Amino acid sequence: GGHDGGHGCWELRRRTLGGACVCKTASLKATPVRVARAARTSTVAGAAVDNETGLKMARDGIKEAASENLLTPRFYTTDFDEMEQLFSKEINPNLDESELVAILQEFQEDFNQKHFVRNDSFKTAADGITGEARRIFIEFLERSCTAEFSGFLLYKELGRRLKKTAPVCAEIFTLMSRDEARHAGFLNKAMSDFNLALDLGFLTKNRQYTFFKPKFIFYATYLSEKIGYWRYISIYRHLQANPDDQLYPIFQYFENWCQDENRHGDFFTAVLKARPEFINDFEAKLWSRFFCLSVYVTMYLNDHSRAEFYESIGLDTTQFNMHVIHQTNKTTAQIFPQVIDTYNPKFKEHLDKLVVINTALAKAESPMEKAPLVLGFASNLLAIALMKPIDSGSIDFVEDVSDPAFMY
């Protein structure tokens, strides 16, 4: 799903899967970005720099990628053999075939088939965004495109691998990859308004892939899609109420766009319900809180490190983030067995401390400077993890229906 916040989910481990990979893990390399007018670059101290934005270029006409770190959008791979078993009706009798067919029919309707159509206002608006605001916009488009493209690669491979064992689920994944490709393409086309374009083919082959076991893929992608929904719809509603802040027309597409994210999340809800052990034991509660923590913190740090972007469209970054986190958490509480208590004042206190530490870490150079900061970062994360959680979960798994535990 396509948002910058969720796809930055922290890595548990990496490994090369060879044939079972979406794509073989490769060493870190720069993400190339084509520049429409090569003459727009100059060389400063041996490195090409885009004259208009100051963005570093790896070589003439190729933008240097934002370096990969814990907070950048990830490309995922998984154990596809285990996935085949999870989606096999013979092995997993809990799969609700009628629900999956209904979900598939909704995807086949393709409500947004004719939604992502550009017009002349895009290029005109892009030409009007200059200086630092232009650089920030390009970074936003690049990160968003990378996140959407990440979803496309994973869903496409799942659609291919599940064709024989679970044809209905395979087609759902294929159609979800269609949505993500459409989003990524739309964002990449938007980059061309700023005279840049991502080389997505190069990205596929040269990006490092993060390995998650299938159940972790479900947690991560569910949260990613749902937080993407709340980010898109919140920005859309804000700009509908404040049209003067609409710097660029892509935001007008967010209302329908976010419905794609919502449908994707609903599919993962059905998948999680089919595996009660993923959402109703002690281990599931710990992992649920871990993924909530990682996704919320990643978004909060990412957005606060580029608060200028949200301010440029009239948003208060902190208010926007807390609104998205609260709403995502309420949605997530409908299926995850435990969630973080985001309304606990200590939650935001620790988030704000993490922002301060993260800013200092970015400036720190020596290991001596970094060590106490890393320790402070870890202690604040641990403090959030140890906060009293909220028991939640699907009504399907609540034995006492009058028990409010499933209602957040």
CA dist 348 and 339 (Å) reads 15
CA dist 204 and 21 (Å) reads 12
CA dist 30 and 47 (Å) reads 14
CA dist 292 and 145 (Å) reads 23
CA dist 25 and 13 (Å) reads 13
Closest CA to 26 of 205, 210, 211, 153: 205
C-alpha 173 chain-centroid distance? 17
DSSP calls for 334-390: TTSSEE--TTSHHHHHHHHHHHHHHHHHHH--SHHHHHHHHHHHHHHHHHHHHS--E
pLDDT (tens place) for every residue of the chain, 408 residues total = 555 544 444 433 333 333 333 333 233 333 444 444 444 555 544 556 666 666 665 444 445 555 566 667 788 999 999 999 888 877 777 788 889 999 999 999 998 888 899 999 999 999 999 988 899 899 999 999 999 999 999 999 999 999 998 999 999 999 999 999 999 999 999 998 998 888 888 888 888 898 999 999 999 999 999 999 999 999 999 999 999 999 999 999 999 898 899 999 999 998 898 888 888 888 999 999 999 999 999 999 999 999 999 999 999 999 999 999 999 999 999 999 999 999 999 999 999 999 999 999 999 999 999 999 999 999 999 999 999 999 987 555 444 444 444 343
CA dist 59 and 47 (Å) reads 8
CA dist 255 and 233 (Å) reads 6
Gyration radius (Cα) of the chain, Å? 21
Q: What number of other Cβ atoms are within 10 A of residue 299's Cβ? A: 26
Residue found by looking up tokens 């979900």 in the block: 103
Which tokens belong to 248?
Answer: 């660029």
CA dist 151 and 138 (Å) reads 20
Amino acid at 166: A
